[in-house]
Amino acid sequence: QVQLVESGGGLVQAGGSLRLSCAASGRAFSTRGCGWFRQALGKEREFVGAIRGSSRYYADSVKGRFTISRDNARDTVYLQMNSLKPEDTAVYYCATLRLGSLIVTMPGLYDYWGQGTQVTISS
């Protein structure tokens, strides 16, 4: 199993930046694709981005503003969020992609999830 813990959320003004961290336990973590999702109050969980091997994927709503990276030596995946907008307000979750998955945008394709971290952007 893989255990994931998100951190780095908080309250920032529109236009600001945050970096979220997803710390993992488990030796196999570095071999897993990882995704970031977010869920705003009253809305469905939404794909934000993913990293798998050398490939990175982003939702159109965040492309050019958010960047996913990972540090395998520290078993940590990051989500750098720049130019934040009020509509980015949500609980952000990291998750590990199921082995063998060929697409990355659906929550059901991920097996292990963190508890989430709140990101609030004020206007």
What tens digit of pLDDT does each residue of 61-85 get?
999 999 999 998 889 999 999 999 9
What is d(CA 29, CA 8) in angstroms, rounded to the nearest whole number?
20
pLDDT > 70? residue 7: yes
Residue 94: predicted pLDDT? 97
pLDDT > 80? residue 27: no
Give the DSSP letter string of 47-75.
Answer: EEEEEETTEEEE-TTTTTTEEEEEEGGGT
Query: Could you tell me if 111 and 95 are in contact, meaning their C-beta atoms sit under 8 angstroms apart?
Result: yes
Query: Could you tell me if 21 and 7 are in contact, meaning their C-beta atoms sit under 8 angstroms apart?
Result: yes
Average pLDDT, the chain: 95
pLDDT > 80? residue 28: no
Average pLDDT over residues 13-41: 92
Residue among 5, 11, 68, 10 nearest 34 (CA):
68
